Chain A
């Protein structure tokens, strides 16, 4: 993945594994070492959970999804050949699990598999242009702010929410996030921008400086 285009031939499995921090644990898990697999669960469960929460927007569905993801990973771990990083492989299973949940839900609710698959993104223009009164370092220290951020992230449509969660919360690169979700990088970037701008817009009324005459800044 990091190779320049001229060398983009399939990476030999061994070479890819050597660059993967999980390689040793994966090899042990493949030979039936359940403790090694457990270490992989501990290492990656949070990301898997966030992927599922990003896609499904539902805590109970996400907990089920995490369990299914790791059961599948365990059943298929011997088929993992190291063509990608183990974490990417796992994230991909989680994303498929989340999309499967949306698919099952389709008849119940008008949520969002169609929306997920839609190629076209209408542009989103920022409306709130007031500076914020505090800097983010001051804001994140506040528990209420954290709850507000969580609440507003959960209100985003799935395709924007998961982009923000993988990129800005899990700190994946746009390439990694796109690969994990089975999207091309351009689509991921468009969705990420939209998600960031929508979240900004939702948070702005809480943090924006008031104009003179509208009452005092807090």
Chain B
């Protein structure tokens, strides 16, 4: 069974659904006995969902137009 630190080593693969079957098994065995890692897993997953769901850092208005104006001004 994994230690808390070993669980962290595999956390990304687990969250991205890319952990190998035996890694997944050991990781889930650890989670069964470690409420702190359950929280880390849940809240890291929530963090990822918030980053992907927040639609942050949209392109500033008019930036595409500015780029094209520069390119057209420059010609080839």
Contact = CB atoms under 8 A, between A and B. Distances in A.
Contacts of A158: none
A37 B51 contact: no
Interface string B42-69: 1111111111111111111001101110
28 contacts: A34-B72, A38-B64, A38-B68, A49-B57, A50-B57, A59-B60, A70-B67, A126-B36, A126-B40, A128-B43, A130-B39, A132-B46, A136-B47, A136-B49, A136-B53, A137-B53, A139-B46, A140-B54, A149-B51, A149-B56, A153-B51, A153-B57, A165-B57, A174-B16, A196-B47, A199-B47, A200-B40, A200-B47
Contact of B50 (A129, A192, A203): A203
A131 B70 contact: no
Which range holds the interface residue count of chain A?
35 or more
Contacts, number: 124
Interface of A: 32, 34, 37-38, 41-42, 45-46, 49-50, 53, 59, 63, 66-67, 70-71, 74, 123, 125-126, 128-132, 135-137, 139-140, 145-146, 149-150, 153, 164-165, 168-169, 171, 174, 189, 192-193, 196-197, 199-200, 203-204, 207
Interface of B: 5, 8, 11-12, 16, 35-36, 39-40, 42-60, 63-64, 66-68, 70-72, 74, 76
